[in-house]
Amino acid sequence: MKRTALCMALAAAFPAGAVTPGADGLGQALIYPYYTVQSAGGDAFNTYISVVNHTAQAKALRVRFREGRLGREALSFNLFLSANDVWTGAAVPSGDGTRLVTSDASCTEPAFSGSGSGARFLDFRNDAFAGGSDDGAGSGLDRTREGFVEILEMGTLTGASAQFATHNSAGVPSNCDNLLSDLPTVAAPAGGLSGTLTLINVANGLDFDANAEALDNLASHAYFRRANDPSADFNATQVDPVSVVTANGLTYRSTWSRGVDAVAATLMRDHAMAEYVLDQSTASLTDIVITMPTRSLQTTPTTMTAPFTRPGQWAASCQANGALGEPLGITAFTREEQGITVSGDCGFPECPPATAAGAICAASGVMNVRNNSLTQFVGTSTAHTLVLGSATLGASGGSTGGVLNVAPNTNFANGWLDIQAIGTGTLVSRADSTFVRQATGEAVTGPHTFRGLPIVGFAVRIFRNGTLTCGAGACQGNYGGAFPLKYRRNITPSG
């Protein structure tokens, strides 16, 4: 009876049409926290991504690669998936920039260059931040070499349009030309998408795998746009300005003035946690990626809107330009429970802003966890991170951008990190918001305050054993793994 009453209360308080975390990794939108074609130790990474349509409906998707400094668009195209279809592609180095290659036959707008059985390609562009679009964070194609990816379902294809996207007996869409020349018939998005990414470095034998983070129920209406229309993103007018998030025994249905605020609220976390491994015997290293997917939509180089407290500017050495970044506080723990405040964390829940302590000032910030008392860090560069080779950097926990130094002594060779967003930024929902106490089913109306930052990310760590004897020959003894960040939320209801 109590469970039935709770379900009835939730149904009454939370009608359909609200951005939610994707249940079990499925959703209408996917955020891939990082892509890179940078080099680590002279060996270049490639980034492979996949998107899977787990439904019996054909779909029109917007695929967008955003560079890591300010989240500007580096490549965008429409992708038409048939029912139960899978699309894959790989970002690879190309001159100073990046190229996306695929051998997939699914219809895209624009079409990929190339023909025949070989890989087709699209080159990344710097139009969004070069020439008259210069935003102060660099204008070269090198800026496209790392960042993050977002895929949004603009709608489900219906009628003849669904048939045109469906692969025929030859394994190609039956009529891609029609989808590109005539406006497709599109119904509301239905979700059911998942995705993966693989950062692979063939030369040094490293492979890092991660799932895309899914968001569901973004839009109750279709918002198909032609590929040259940039408005198919998280601030599209069709994105419902409502979010539903469960935290600490309460389920919050929060209403907002803009859809992008609902997306940000769904991703708001005030603590991110990760393990680090820096063992000397295996020359182990750890990098941490923190991406803020909505930063480019909620800031400009001179302005910001909540929850951001600083304009959207970038500096590789975030500490040298402390006024640019969102402040962070970081505490490192050893495996034996020893803890030390690395930067910014005053030890109380409501810490003041730390303008000269840890910070993040990049759309995709990457920091290298270091302990300079360990041998593997002797003589190493701080111009890039040591695992992923990130040159964007833009996140730190010390006096050098891209570096988190946990170096009080050699005891801090492995353990875990608590990264706290200690800025004053908040998102406050409208007064017609509602929360339900899960224990009782009681519904309460009033605004909610979300604290923290909208973030996604993961940690990567490597173990290096050098060249090993394998039977009659030699093989590399390098191993790596990727692990999603763990989070805490801080939401304060009224009443």
Q: DSSP letter string over 145-208?
A: GEEEEEEEEEEEE-HHHHHHHSB-TTSSBTTHHHHHHSPPPEE-----EEEEEEEEETTTTEEE
Please indicate, yes or no, whether residues 157 and 297 belong to a single structural domain of this protein: no
Q: Does some domain include residue 124?
A: yes
Are residues 155 and 77 both part of a single domain?
Answer: yes
The pLDDT value given to residue 122: 97
Kind of pairing between the strands at 443-445 and 453-454:
unpaired
pLDDT at 408: 62
* 346/199 same-domain check: no
* Count of domains for the chain: 2
250 in a structural domain: no
- Closest-CA residue to 384 (of 42, 114, 11, 102): 42
Considering 219, 234, 249, which residue would you say is the last residue of a domain? 234
Q: Is there a domain that residue 74 lies in? A: yes
| Domain co-membership, 157 together with 99 | yes
The residue type of 469 is: T
Boundary-marking domain end, from 209, 234, 259: 234
- The answer to whether residues 200 and 305 belong to one domain is no
| Residues of the domain holding 101 | 20-234
> Do 274 and 190 lie in a common domain?
no
474 and 336 share a domain? yes
Question: Do residues 221 and 277 share a domain?
Answer: no
What pLDDT shows up at residue 368? 92
- Give 286's Cβ-side CA count (13 Å radius): 24
49 falls within a domain = yes
Q: Are residues 359 and 463 in the same domain?
A: yes
Using the 3D structure, point to which of 210, 234, 258 is the last residue of a domain.
234
- Would you say residue 3 lies in a domain? no
pLDDT digits (tens, 9 = 90+) for 394-433: 998 766 677 878 766 677 889 999 998 876 789 999 999 9
- 445 is a domain residue: no
In this structure, the answer to whether residues 342 and 211 fall within a common structural domain is: no
| Res 429: pLDDT | 97
User: Is residue 419 domain-resident?
Assistant: yes
24-36 tens-digit pLDDT: 999 999 999 999 9
> What pTM did the predictor assign?
0.92
Gap between the Cα atoms of 286 and 281, Å rounded: 15
My answer on whether 309 and 226 are in the same domain is no
Segment-wise mean pLDDT, segments of 10 residues, the chain, 495 residues: 42 66 96 96 93 98 98 98 97 97 95 78 95 90 98 98 93 93 96 97 90 97 96 96 94 96 97 94 94 97 94 84 79 80 48 56 94 89 93 83 73 88 85 89 92 96 80 77 96 79
Pair (32, 112) in one structural domain? yes
Q: Is residue 52 part of a domain?
A: yes
